[in-house]
Amino acid sequence: MNHQRTASVISTPSQRKSVDTTAASLMLLFCLVLGFQQVAIKGVAEDISPMVQIALRSAIAGCLVVLLAYWRGIRWDDISHHWQPGLLVGLGFAAEFAFVACGLTYTLASHMSVFLYTAPIFAALGLHLWVPGEQLSSRQWWGVGLAFLGMVIAMAPSGAYGIDIIIGDALGLLAGLSWAATTIVIRKTSLSEAPAELTLSYQLSVTALLLLPVSALSGQLMSAQFTSMAVASLAFQALIISFAALMLWFTLLRRYRASQLGVFSFLGPLFGVLFGTLLLNEPLSINFVLGGGVILAGIVLVTR
């Protein structure tokens, strides 16, 4: 009975349809929320360190996803069946946000938004190499080339930024690479057919179990100041970003074609740059604007 309920949350490819107005509107909202993610972390970093924010929001959202998974019929047998790939995607997810947390102490939120979203490029390369049927077309190879050219331009030394910004940008690239690695693991393992709630519970739970002790041992957790603004930001990250937004994404993936939904991914970094500039007064150098534009053009070519 439990397996019947679990199977009911997975849609077969034939059931997935083209993106309509509803899906487009929801994807716009999804990208808007994710674009605000780095600003939400950076904005209260003086009260609660980014590492502590990510650890706490993962713990809160993880509990909610586990409860949802139980309600949807997922039991211990399902969890134990996928524990090996689940551990891998959890480690990748934890690494992604550990790099984000460390990177935001060096670079700008707008920069982190752009470099984090290089993930589709790395994922496309990995899928091309290791997953049959996922080989890149000539147009997509042009997109990969454009994206890497954009990275070189955006990370080129500039008088407007110091070495700290370059270090943070590099950590942003590592975060994007970690994100791509989780995508490849999911695609190549039994998690490709597992319920989204199960995969997300692995990601959030492992992240919380790893980053909470690190935050405590480093003293960052004890030094956190839970001001009203910090609590509001943490609640937004846990409930809206880590729980609601990611569940929305997985729900859309079950109903609509992933290739068409992926086109909207380039809106995330655009919103991130916009929010970072307007809300945090972050400066933009010419080479970053040009490089970011080239990166986004490459992402569009790869995911279109």
In a domain? residue 129? no
pLDDT (tens digit, 9 = 90+) per residue, 250-301?
A: 778 777 766 667 667 778 888 999 999 999 999 888 889 999 899 988 888 8
Kindly report, residue by residue over 53-106, the tens digit of the pLDDT: 999 999 999 999 999 999 989 888 888 889 999 999 999 999 999 999 999 999
Q: Does a structural domain hold residue 53?
A: yes
Please state, in angstroms and rounded to a whole number, the distance separating the CA atoms of residues 271 and 202: 28
Q: pTM for the full model? A: 0.86
Q: Is residue 209, in this structure, part of any structural domain at all? A: yes
Buried b (16+ CB within 10 A) or exposed e, 144-171: bebbbebbebbbeeeeebeeebbebbbb
Q: Is residue 19 over pLDDT 80?
A: no
Give residue 56's identity as a one-letter amino acid code. Answer: L
The answer to the question of residue 90 being in a domain is yes
Give domain status of residue 256, yes or no.
yes
d(CA 32, CA 200): 20
pLDDT more than 70, % of the chain: 91
pLDDT confidence of 7, banded at 50, 70, 90?
very low
Range of the domain at 43: 20-122+161-282
Based on the structure, what is the number of domains in the chain? 1
Could you tell me if residue 207 is inside a domain? Answer: yes
